[in-house]
Homo-oligomer: A and B are copies of this chain.
Amino acid sequence: MNQRTTTKLAATGAAALAILPATAFAQEVSETQFVLNSFLFLFGGVLVMFMAAGFCMLEAGLVRSKNVADICLKNVALYSLAGVAYYFIGYELMYGVGEGGWIGRLAVWSPSELASDETISLESGYASTSDWFFQMVFVATAASIVSGAVAERVKLTPFLLFVLVLTGIIYPIQGAWSWGGGFLKTLGFSDFAGSTIVHAAGGWAALTGVLILGARTGRYDEEGGIHPMPASNVPLATLGVFILWLGWFGFNGASQLALGSAADVVAVSQIFANTNMAAAGGVLGAFVYCKARFGRVDLSLVLNGALGGLVTITAEPLTPSIGQAILFGSMGGLLVSVATPLLDKFKIDDVVGAIPVHLFAGTFGTLLVPLTNAEASFVTQMIGILCVAAFVVPLSALTWMGLKLTLGIRLPAEEEITGSDLAEIGLVAYPEFQNLTTPTAEPVAPATSSAAALPAE
């Protein structure tokens, strides 16, 4: 049973009851509600599915051209693998958990009803397959977070094996604790659409990978210098952010899990508005910070600022006012802007900034929940954050280490310099534009650019 669903339906059902007298047509009304609730999952799920394209474009735009085809392949493959893993193992590990428990059961998922059934029970309130579809696209998001952080030096097959473990085992087990109805839910941990459960969990997995993999060759030098490795295709990265922004309406909005009553649609409306305005706040937060701090505006920080705002509001997109959503989002955008250069100080080489965006802003957003949602407390939020970290970090580390000791996880240095595209796929992303006469494609940096320090590679 999907406690995430059941509980919220009950809640909204109560709200609906407040305005509608119980009538003789209850059965009838509920068929329409059943349709609307299920359709919300489908509509939201489709939007979240498209986030896979958003992550792919964002990452393809941010890496150097010699690694673009490889990152495209990884994104297509990870989305596919995540669904398969979630079907065969993940879903029932996550939602087959008992109340207050910590792990579900080992079983392939199967739907509660089929269209071909003679009668369809309306009791659950939604089509079980619509719920599966929606939960499945979420797990893919968690995996997408990792690919950007470890880009440009991780080997293809070990990366995909990590995705298999993350989406089939790690994500579902920690998800069971809260959305599955397990012990974190019993404690009162509140994470509406997954700032911690999806974003921070993915962020922890990414951070672990980055640390175990090490930085890209030539990224940091002995003297503490940081060598810029500029984004190869800025409009593609921008498109990626717009697609993610679009998909987030599904991510947060359909996490209301019901559309069958006036209270539900009012809630979904608030979530849409807050989601949008938190992203806008994130953009403006990063923009103003850059302007004040550097005198000019770093587009990549602004793009990640939008995502930071989105991740921040994800833990509680329903209860804040629009003004609060703008504020929280701008704080998320600011946090990302401040934290991104800090990671480089510690030589943590996160290619696309996934760790500030998903881990930091996700954790921050989770801690903000009690400010607008009286049912949440700072202490339980903290417990939830720590439990997820305490589980995801060691399991991810174990998985990365196991892969490192067996298959190896890192491209040989010469292949990394030539580019993962040639090494792993044997083709390049832009064969007519890329400069491939030298082993590496050096970005052409103008003297007036802030990116004056070139890769040493």
Residues on A lying within 8 angstroms of B by beta carbon are 15-16, 18-20, 23, 25, 27-29, 31-32, 34-36, 38-39, 41-43, 45-47, 49-50, 52-53, 56-57, 60-61, 64-65, 68-69, 72-73, 75-77, 79-81, 83-84, 87, 108-111, 113-120, 122, 127-130, 132-133, 136, 156-157, 230-236, 238-239, 241-243, 245-246, 249, 253, 259-270, 272-273, 276-277, 279-281, 283-284, 287, 291, 296-300, 302-303, 306, 318-319, 321-323, 326, 418, 422, 424-437, 441-446, 448-451
Contacts of A130 in B (CB 8 A): 265, 268-269, 272
On whether A20 and B25 interact (CB within 8 A), knowing A269-B127, A272-B130, A446-B428, the answer reads no
Copies in the complex: 3
Q: Report chain B residues within 8 Å CB of A15.
A: 115-116, 120
CB of B432 within 8 A of CB of A444, answer yes
Contact of A432 among B19, B32, B75, B434 (CB under 8 A): B434
CB-contact partner of A28 in B20, B113, B243, B272, under 8 A: B20
Please, how many angstroms separate the alpha-carbon atoms of A134 and B435 in the complex? Answer: 45
Instruction: Determine which of B242, B265, B445 lies in contact with A35 in the assembled complex, contact meaning CB atoms within 8 Å.
Output: B265
> Which secondary structure characterizes the binding site on chain A?
helix
A35–B87 touching, CB < 8 Å: no
If A87-B277, A232-B431, A263-B115 touch, whether A76 touches B269 (CB-CB below 8 Å) is: no
Given A234-B69, A444-B436, does the pair A269, B41 have CB atoms closer than 8 Å?
A: yes
9 residue pairs of the A-B complex, CB under 8 angstroms, read A43-B43, A46-B272, A53-B239, A87-B322, A87-B326, A117-B266, A156-B297, A298-B425, A426-B451
Q: Are A38 and B429 in touch, CB under 8 angstroms? A: no
Q: Is the CB of A279 within 8 A of B80?
A: yes
Give the CA-CA distance A260 to B39 in the complex, in Å: 11
Q: Which residue of B lies closest to A429 (CB)?
A: B234
Q: Is the CB of B35 within 8 A of A243?
A: no
Contact B266 A108 (CB under 8 A): no
Asked if B265 and A38 make an inter-chain contact with CB atoms under 8 angstroms apart, the answer reads yes
Residue from A260, A303, A444 having most chain B Cβ neighbours under 10 A: A444
- Assess A273 versus B132: contact at CB under 8 Å? Given A262-B31, A280-B79: yes
Which residues of chain B are near A431, meaning CB under 8 Å? 230-232, 443-445, 451
Q: What residues of B have a CB within 8 angstroms of the CB of A113 in the complex? A: 266
Closest residue of B by beta carbon distance from A452? B426
Chain B residue with Cβ nearest A443: B431
